[in-house]
Amino acid sequence: MKKKIVMILITSAIVAAFSGCSRPVTGDKEADDALVAFNKIVKTYPDKKGFHEELKHWGFELPTGEKFEWSKDMSANKADFAMVMLADPLVEAGLDIKKLDENEWLFEPEGKDDKGNSLPNRLIKPYNVSDKKQASNGSEDSMRRLLKADTENVSYRKDDKHFSLSLGSGNQVQWTEKLGTNDADLIFALKAEPLVDAGLDVKKLADSGWVFKEAGKDDSEMGANPDQIIKIYDIKK
Q: Would you say residue 145 lies in a domain? A: yes
Q: Would you say residue 81 lies in a domain? A: yes
Number of domains, the chain: 1
> Is pLDDT at 228 greater than 90 in this prediction?
yes
Q: Would you say residue 94 lies in a domain? A: yes
More confident of the two residues 200 and 53: 200
Dump pLDDT digits (tens) for 68-110. Answer: 999 999 988 889 999 999 999 999 999 999 999 999 999 999 9
Contact call for residues 232 and 187 (beta carbons, < 8 A) = yes
Q: Would you say residue 5 lies in a domain? A: no
How far is residue 163's CA from residue 175's CA, in Å, rounded to a whole number? 5
> Is pLDDT at 27 greater than 80 in this prediction?
yes
Average of pLDDT values for 11-37?
Answer: 67
Question: Whole-prediction pTM value?
Answer: 0.86
Q: Would you say residue 71 lies in a domain? A: yes
SS3 for 109?
coil
Q: Would you say residue 1 lies in a domain? A: no
Dump pLDDT digits (tens) for 55-77. Answer: 889 999 999 999 999 999 998 88
Share of the chain above pLDDT 90, in %: 69
Instruction: Provide the domain limits for residue 182.
Output: 27-233
Q: Would you say residue 183 lies in a domain? A: yes
199 pLDDT band, cuts 50/70/90, is very high
Average pLDDT over all residues of the chain: 87
Distances (CA, A) of 97 to 17, 104, 139, 229: 51, 12, 31, 16
Closest listed residue to residue 148, CA positions, set 159, 162, 163, 134? 134
Lowest mean pLDDT segment, chosen from 71-75, 173-177, 214-218? 214-218
Q: Would you say residue 134 lies in a domain? A: yes
